[in-house]
Amino acid sequence: MWRTGEEVLTATLDFFVSGTPRPGGSKKGFAVKDKKTGKYRAILVEDSVNKDWKCSVREAATKALGELSPEQRKLWPTRGACELTIAFYLKRAGNHYGTKNGERYLKNNAPKYHISAPDRTKLLRSTEDALGDCGLIVDNDSRFCDGRILKLYTDTGATGARIRIRQLENTRTAKG
């Protein structure tokens, strides 16, 4: 965020991540018997494979930062509060389409919103983790304090996510 006279400008980063959005944060637990003691202990492992998605998010963020002006680039990574808006675009089911005269078309009653798995909070978790892990946007994903998350079907066939990050002024103004 920088000031020009009385006007407060906030830094914004807007980019598209190509790929298949993958969830994060789910764990599977296993009981493993210790050979020496004979006692069981729990082992937790990541349930979802999302390395490719996280890499795609990091690469797209790096590219978007590289396209900023030098003045704007100095504002990242931020240590302040941020608004994170993400629209995830997921592949449509085959039954959303019909065929007429040999041509494939999207049916009029095809849904706009993706209401099946994966759930949006797990998609958000993996994406926030990728943005925080790279240290280019924020030093920690806890900086994301506000925002909106959408799960939509893509009509173009391009799956991925539109990500918009806006720095927020994190001060209160006194009334009086």
The kind and range of the H/E element at 151 are strand 144-153
Residue 28 has pLDDT above 70, yes or no: no
Distance between CA atoms of residues 90 and 142, nearest Å:
26
Q: Does a structural domain hold residue 175?
A: no
What value does the mean pLDDT of the chain take?
Answer: 85
Q: Which residue has the higher pLDDT, 18 or 39?
A: 18
pLDDT at 24: 79
Q: What is the mean pLDDT of residues 50-74?
A: 91
Has residue 175 got a pLDDT over 80? no
The pLDDT assigned to 2 comes to: 42
Q: Is residue 174 part of a domain?
A: no
What is the number of domains present in the chain?
A: 1
- Write out the residue range of the structural domain in which residue 43 sits: 2-167
Instruction: Report if residue 157 sits inside a domain.
Output: yes
Q: What is the CATH number of the domain that holds 83?
A: 3.30.1330.70
Asked whether residue 94 is domain-assigned, the answer is yes
Q: 71 in a domain, yes or no?
A: yes
Q: Which of 29-33, 51-55, 94-98 has the lowest mean pLDDT?
A: 29-33
Task: Answer yes or no: is pLDDT of 102 > 70.
Answer: yes
For residues 22-35, average pLDDT: 74
Highest mean pLDDT out of 14-18, 32-36, 70-74, 131-135:
14-18
Rounded Cα distance, 51 and 172, in Å: 39
| pTM score | 0.78
Residue located via tokens 């494979």: 49
Residue 45's pLDDT band, with cuts at 50, 70 and 90, is low
Q: Does the residue 173 lie in any domain?
A: no
- pLDDT at residue 54 tops 80: yes
Whole-number pLDDT of residue 149: 97
Residue 174 confidence (pLDDT) above 90? no
Q: Is residue 119 part of a domain?
A: yes
Q: What percent of the chain has pLDDT over 90?
A: 57
pLDDT of residue 148: 97
